[in-house]
Each structure stands twice: as structure tokens, then as C-alpha cells.
Amino acid sequence: MARSREFDESALLDAATEVFWRRGYAGASVVEISELSGVGNGSIYAAFGNKWGLFQRVFERYCAGRVALVRDTVDATPGASERVLEALYAAIIDDCASHPDRRGCLMLNSIGELGGSRPDVLDIARRTTAGMERAVAERFLRDPETRRALGSEGITALSGHAIALAQGIIQLSRLGAERARLEQVAAAR
């Protein structure tokens, strides 16, 4: 009979996310994750198999959270597409500002670090980007004015542009751009 986990998995994943996000996959260690989370190395290995198994769980969870951030933001914003985009970019800029260490985005960072050697990272990133684009497109489709003005192809294109710009804003933040510059870029649509 398998033993039940004797630790808070969510807290462990939070700690592991922090370490992977700050240090990257190669720079992260299970020892540091263990120390930060208070969960023993043996328990981590028993639960996830190895560092890669833990990273995969962290990465999938983080990416699902990014889709939820986009979906929650656009779904909560009344009005036409321009107002929805303003709210989306404001949420992204606020999220960037909440990380004064300029760490960027775990998904984008991981694509750069692991995308060439780990196709599963690219698969998850593609699904995540598609999920974010879909969330924006579905919101635009609910607005009769936007639907009439752009049609489904235009909405698909605008949704892709919106997510590409949001990811560009994150990269600019990581490079040290100040909030005013991020807002300027977001407003230049």
C-alpha cells in the first residue's frame, strides 16, 4: 500500500516554483527546494521521481496559472475589445511590477533555457499560449461590436497579437524597462 504524502504539495510547489523561476532549471537544486519548503529530499524524490519530474509539475502548474490570469482578467472586464486589452496589459504590467527582481516569466525563461533540448517544454508552452489566445478570442467573440467589426479571423489575429505583446512587455520588464515604458508600449497598439 502506498504511503500518503505527509507534506503540503501546494506549498512545496510554491517553493519549487520560486527556485526554478529565480535560478532556472540548471541552477536549481532539490536541496535548495527542500530547504525552502521544509520538505525532505527523500519525500520530494518519492513524490516526483527526480528534479525533472518536479520541474514538469511546477511548469504545468505555472502555465495553467498564466492562462487563468489572462482568462480571469478578460472575463472580468466589461466593454469592447480596446477596454479588454487595456485591462489585460495593466494586469501584465502589475504582475511584472510585483517581481522587483525582474525575473520575467517562468514559461518564457524555460523556453529559452530548455526549448532546444526538451520538446515537452515547448509543447506545454504552445498549449499555454494557445490557451491564453483562446481566452482573449472567446471574450472578443462575446462582444457583438468586436465580432461584427473583426469577424472570426480578425479576432484570431488580434488575440494572437495581444498575447505576443503581453509576452513582449514581460521581456521588456525583465530587461529593466520602467513601468512608464511598459505602459507606453502597451498603449501604442
**Structural domain boundaries, residue 141:** 59-187
Calculate mean pLDDT across residues 36-54: 95
Is the residue at 27 inside a domain? no
pTM tops 0.75, yes or no: yes
Q: What is the rounded distance in angstroms from the CA atom of residue 186 to the CA atom of residue 22?
A: 26
- Our count of domains for the chain comes to 1
pLDDT, averaged across the chain:
94
Residue 44 in any domain: the answer is no
Determine the Cα angle at 95 with ends 175 and 117, to 5°.
60
Instruction: Evaluate whether residue 9 is within a structural domain.
Output: no
Q: Is residue 38 part of a domain?
A: no
Cβ–Cβ under 8 Å, residues 174 and 102: yes
b/e per residue, 149-184, with b = 16+ CB within 10 A? Answer: ebeeeebbebbbebbebbbebbebbbeebeeeebee
- Report the C-alpha dihedral over residues 160, 165, 167, 171, rounded to 10 degrees: 160
In-domain check, residue 51 = no
Asked whether residue 154 is domain-assigned, the answer is yes
Query: Residue 122 domain-assigned?
Result: yes
Q: What is the pLDDT of residues 78-109, one digit of tens each?
A: 998 999 999 999 999 999 999 878 788 999 99
